[in-house]
Structures are given as structure tokens and as C-alpha cells.
Copies of this chain bind each other. A is one copy, B any other.
């Protein structure tokens, strides 16, 4: 994989030119893209031309991929839907502009499930092409995993960053709700949609998030603080595979050996209620956010999306409002629980990437945290017996993104084969 931080340091030291970095990406894309199918649009030459003007900026010379639900004025934007075939927006999404301002070179658009919901993209898992890469940010996770790009952007409404990162064995970071702007990103659910990032390691996604947000989020250079970790198995623990349960156990023990305080914690009942509420919020809002597409192009929507929109259309405002109240109470309860911990450790997904490309897997270990607005990091480094990645998830407190990234970096280090 290409580490954004390592590349940035070598560029800064004059050991690599931006053109050489784009060549590295181009070579990997030539070698892997035919099998992986991470991209729906690509313009490496355009990026080469723009590279010079970015000297001195934090992402100078780094090629970046944007999930194809971010509007781009210079590349087609299709939202994973035939309705938008060849569509070229007038303006860039805000996050695209922030990437460009930071010197990042937007080289392509990565494959997304239809409107970032469930209907799969063409992408295959770089570790085993008969397995899903996860979704909805399928191409963004796979592009990093296949060593084609150092940084890609995605979005999460249920588990669309953390799950594909776990399935593809890369670092995935869903920051706190609204830390990065969703303006110009196709909306599915305004209370849930969150911009996220993929990179080779935790320090890489932290570096890129810091670069575009201007926030003090870098965690490279220096030893991460020793975190207090709550191991949370949730009420759906039965849904985790044996491999995943073992991975959480391995991660907990590795963190402990590295000095972390680790304690098993049961979630208050209101969080299980909130878990049930997520689909209510998501579908109610999706039925409104995608009303134009449903009303005008229903025949061109997948059955799974039609089902979501029709389910959401039947939810009354009273039920939706009640769901929002549950969500608010759950956030307060979670804040109380987190008073004694820096982060939660929990699965990133039910297990390794499922076989088949007809489904992108399930977001059951993600959606509660998305609803809570909490920062979530997929920590890569573990694998099942067949070599497929198994990701564990660090969940931080809302607004404490730096602490979440530091704890994730700590765990990532503790999981390195040398340390385990």
C-alpha cells in the first residue's frame, strides 16, 4: 500500500517528485484495476499538470480518489446510478474543494453502491476477487488496499466507511458528524451522512483529515497516549463470527499488554433502542432526500433502494420524531458511559468480507455509532485463516476525534506481528 505520510515526507525531502508519485499510482492502477474495478473515472494526466501548483501545501503531490457521490466539476459524477450517467455537476463538493486547497490531486472517482445505499458497485475485494470489498464506499477502500492510491474519500450513513475498510484491510476513519462538510455530496440521510477517509494506516488518515480540516488531528511522530478502552460486545454479539470475536479478544489483549486499561462494558439499554432506531431515521430521510429520483425514475432504481424509499415513505413524522428523541437520549447515555473511557473497542463488521459480489455485507456493527455521531476508526492488522482482513473498530467520543485516532494508532501498533 501507499502511505500518504511516507510519500508526503519523501516529497518534502526532495526524494520523490509529485510526478513520480503519480507514476507509482499509475503503475499500480495498470496492474490491479482490471481485476479490482475501483474506479469509475480517472484522469491521471490532469493531475500531473496540476501538481506543480500545489508545492508547499500539506497534500502536495498526493493523488486522491473521491467516492462518486461527491460532485466534481471536472469529472463525471454518477452516484452509482444509471439515472446520472455522464452527469457533470457545475461545482465541486465542499470536501473536494478542501482537498484541492490542501494540495491534493483529485485523480479519479471511485465506485459507489447506488446512491451510497446497498446495490453493489462493480468493485472486487483486492484480497480475494470473489469477495465483496464492502460498501458503500467500495472503490475507495479497494483503491487504497490495492496500493493504487494513498488517500481516498468515502461517506458513511450506516457503515459505509468502517466496514469496507475492514473488509479490505485498510485504515478507515469516519470523523465526528459534520466534522467534514457534506455540501455537494449526494444526500441519503442528512442526520447520518458523514464524510470519511481511507488510507494505508491510522496515521495516514489522521494526516489527511488534519490537512483538509485545519484541525490538530495528526498522530504521527511521537508515542500515542495509553488509552482507557471499553470493550463493547453489544446486544448483537451473536451476529459476530467466531473469527471476529477472537479478533476483538486479540485486540483487547494486545492493547492491555501494551499498557492500556481495558475493561468489558455493557451498553445501557437505551443504546440498543437507538440501534433499532437507525433504520427509521435513515429510511425516513432517504424517502425525502431521494424523492426526485423516486418520483421520476423509479424504474431505474434497484429493488433494494425502492424498498428503502417506500419503507421510509410510510414512516410517520411522529415515529421519526420519537426516533430522534431516542437518539438524543442515547447520545447522553453514551457520553455518561464514556466519562470513564477514552474509546470503545468493538467489531468493525460481523466478520471478514463475505464471499460473493451480490451484497456488500451488513452495517450492524456500525450503524449505532453513526447515529451517535461518534468518530470511528477501522484498525487493520488482523486476518482470518484464509488471509482475509478482519478489522476491529475504535469508537471515540463525539468531537474527540484526536483521542479516537490516537487510540486507534496505539492499537494498530500493538497489533503489529512483532508486538503481539
A residues engaging B (CB < 8 A)? 73, 84, 87, 90-94, 96-98, 100-101, 178, 181-184, 187, 190-191, 213-215, 285, 288-289, 291-293, 295-296, 316-317, 321, 399
Is the pair A97, B190 in contact by a Cβ cutoff of 8 Å?
Answer: no
Report chain B residues within 8 Å CB of A191. 178
Copies in the complex: 2
Q: In whole angstroms, what is the CA distance A289 to B399 when docked?
A: 20
Is the pair B187, A289 in contact by a Cβ cutoff of 8 Å?
Answer: no
Report chain B residues within 8 Å CB of A93. 292
> Provided the pairs A90-B87, A181-B190, A181-B285 are in contact, do residues A291 and B214 lie with their beta carbons within 8 angstroms?
no
Sample 18 A-B pairs with CB under 8 A, ordered by A number: A91-B293, A93-B292, A94-B187, A94-B288, A96-B292, A97-B291, A98-B288, A98-B291, A101-B291, A101-B295, A181-B190, A182-B190, A183-B190, A183-B289, A213-B317, A214-B316, A215-B317, A321-B399
Q: How far is the CB of A398 from chain B (nearest CB, A)?
A: 11
Is the pair A91, B190 in contact by a Cβ cutoff of 8 Å?
Answer: no
Measured CB to CB, the nearest residue on chain B to A291 is B97
> Provided the pairs A178-B190, A190-B178, A215-B317 are in contact, do residues A184 and B292 lie with their beta carbons within 8 angstroms?
yes
Report chain B residues within 8 Å CB of A73. 292, 296
Measured CB to CB, the nearest residue on chain B to A92 is B292
Q: How far is the CB of A58 from chain B (nearest CB, A)?
A: 15
Other-chain contact of A214, B214, B285, B317 (Cβ < 8 Å)? B317
> Provided the pairs A295-B101, A317-B215 are in contact, do residues A288 and B90 lie with their beta carbons within 8 angstroms?
no
Q: How far is the CB of A382 from chain B (nearest CB, A)?
A: 33
Q: In whole angstroms, what is the CA distance A293 to B288 when docked?
A: 27
Is the pair A289, B94 in contact by a Cβ cutoff of 8 Å?
Answer: yes
Report chain B residues within 8 Å CB of A94. 187, 288-289, 291-292
Report chain B residues within 8 Å CB of A187. 94, 183
Report chain B residues within 8 Å CB of A285. 181
Is the pair B288, A183 in contact by a Cβ cutoff of 8 Å?
Answer: yes
